[in-house]
Structure 1
Amino acid sequence: MLLEVMNVRKTYGKVVAVDDVSFNIGRGEIFGLLGENGAGKTTTIKMLSTLARPDSGRILLNGKDIQKYRRETRRRIAVVSQDMNLGYELSVFEVLYIYALLRGIRNSRKLIDDTIEKLGMTEKRNAKVGTLSGGQKRRVMAARAMISGAELIFMDEPTIGLDPAVRREMWEMIRQMQSDGRSILLTTHYTDEAEYLCGRVAIMERGRIVSMDTPQSLIDCAGAFAVDINSRTLLFRDSGEADEYIAKESLTGHRVRQTKLDDVLVSSIGRAV
């Protein structure tokens, strides 16, 4: 197991941001943390990346406590934050070259150029970051993670604010990182993103994990069929159970469909409140 998170808790004053959270991430796995804003996803990332210290619990990377081995941990991880933390006055190449120097990566020019080409940014190699579109800036942030040599990459809402086409491009970049042998912890509130990318997901609400499994298993457990009635959605194990309920209640103006992970998220949060 690459990352082990055991009973981690973090408070800020009287506010409990993360409450007794446990999960693990295997090598080459994309693991998703789902939840609404304020659920505790970003605080979890901060603790896992050593930017915040847990009040209690343990976090192990390759079997080593990340608080005791902070310097080694930071060499083995990379963070793609939701904030555009790039030097806008620098060129794309310069941003990546300076990052490589800070990571202690020698002879990085070929690696950088290969990564820029892989991400379809060759024409923007010498362009100032400040002139790039939002999607292109996200690619540069992804490129930093790709050249880092990190085993584990934390991606905190990497597609927030992007249009659907650019989001799809980011998804393929994340898949590329996985195919390169990286493990990824992805936080998102886009359930279609989690369904497409993640082998397993954990749903967070008010600092706690309320459900965790593969996306399909979570859907199957919640109910494979959904019935939309006005502003409500009811979940059922199979179509027969849904039809029986519709007939019993003499429903009209309803819609029967297959359950999506978004329905599971809403249902899980409802149970947690």
Structure 2
Amino acid sequence: MPAISFQSVSKTYAGSKGGNSPFRALDDVSFDIAEGEFFGLLGPNGAGKTSLISILAGLSRASSGRVAVHGHDVQGDFAEARRKLGVVPQELVFDPFFNVREALRIQSGYFGVRNNDAWIDELLESLGLADKAQSNMRQLSGGMKRRVLVAQALVHRPPVIVLDEPTAGVDVELRQTLWQFIARLNKQGHTVLLTTHYLEEAEALCTRIGMLKQGRMVALAETSELLRSASSNVLRFKVDRELPPALALTARVTGRIVQLPAQGALEIEQYLAAVRQAGLTVEDVEIRKADLEDVFLQVMAAERNPTAPMALTA
């Protein structure tokens, strides 16, 4: 039995009274996540990730299809499905009237968990919150509030953990603390579903990746298989001015750093020759293997351009 099962899930939002047509956020999405898996759900803004997680968490109803957690339908058997699930939302949601320990005790009570102080203490210690246990939630920084959200999602010991952009806007220390703790839980058998725009995190943590584009699943494969599917290496260098228009069309540019997909030595030399002919100074030249961000961009480009390499599904 899969930990999470999405079967032919679609979601359509009604148009406004002003005449806007209905919007189809999810289009017949089907996939399973196995018990103990660390699964990454990726996609650009508006791809349907949050809609899918909202349906999984019972915050929204699918227009059609079925979603189950450990075999429990999220609508027909919602109470048991939610006991199996711990969700860390994108938004910082907190109750301003309680301190951290009180908030975790109250969250335990929502799930009928009594005498939970030993596990609460472990969560506080593991997430670097032990010295904030008596602090009011209003007094915490944004990063500390994020840690409390993680603790609240885990306080009833759910076998399935959903992390929706958990490290958005947080510091490096919190990222490291969070991933060490979540990786430990995953090794102990917890299933993890992660959405993130930090693709280096997904590449390092997730054993399998699904990619959404405009509500459709356009790639679904083991992370290692996706990386092997990359059609090229990447030429990376720095320049002192803007690239010629012909090169800029295919380049990924971040400030002075330019990255270009390169099939082989001849193409690399052609790129460098074009840059030199444009009178640009090239620094810090290197060639690297394609990473998950390169694969992601390739898959999204394939959806826009029928002649580009097709997305992987498995």
Same-fold call, TM cutoff 0.5: yes
- TM-score normalized by the length of structure 1: 0.90
Q: Tell me, which stretches of 5 or more residues in structure 2 are unaligned? A: 15-21, 237-246, 252-258, 276-284, 305-314
Partner of 1:196: 204
Q: How many residues align?
A: 269
Q: Contact between 2:126 and 2:181, CA under 8 Å: does it hold in 1?
A: no
Q: Tell me, which stretches of 5 or more residues in structure 1 are unaligned? A: none
| 2:16 paired with 1:11 | no
Q: Secondary structure at the match of 1:176?
A: helix
Partner of 2:298: 267
Partner of 2:94: 86
Which letter does structure 1 place at the counterpart of 2:293?
A: D
- What is the aligned counterpart of 1:245 among 258, 267, 272? 267
Distance 1:187 1:247, change over 3 A: same
Q: Secondary structure at the match of 1:166?
A: helix
Q: Which has the larger radius of gyration?
A: 2
Q: Contact between 2:70 and 2:84, CA under 8 Å: does it hold in 1?
A: no
Distance 1:184 1:29 in 2: 6
Name whichever of 183-192 and 133-142 sits farther off: 133-142
Q: Contact between 2:72 and 2:80, CA under 8 Å: does it hold in 1?
A: no
Distance 2:72 2:13 in 1: 26
Distance 2:167 2:28 in 1: 28
For 1:138-149, list aligned pairs within 5 A: 138-149=146-157
Name which structure has the greater RCO, CA cutoff 8 Å, separation 6+: 1
Distance 2:122 2:173 in 1: 23
Give identity over the alignment, percent. 36
| 2:185 paired with 1:177 | yes
Q: Deviations over 1:144-192 (max 9, x none)?
A: 1222121111111111111233222222232133134211111111101
Distance 1:4 1:80 in 2: 19
Distance 1:89 1:271 in 2: 50
> 1:46: Cα distance to partner?
0.7
Partner of 2:255: none
For 1:99-138, list aligned pairs within 5 A: 99-138=107-146
Distance 1:251 1:264 in 2: 26
Q: Contact between 1:222 and 1:235, CA under 8 Å: does it hold in 2?
A: no
Distance 1:258 1:99, change over 3 A: same
Distance 1:97 1:210, change over 3 A: same
Which letter does structure 2 place at the counterpart of 1:11?
A: T
Distance 2:265 2:7 in 1: 43
Q: Secondary structure at the match of 2:264?
A: helix
Q: Secondary structure at the match of 1:16?
A: strand
Partner of 1:217: 225
> 1:127: Cα distance to partner?
0.9
Which letter does structure 2 place at the counterpart of 1:20?
A: D
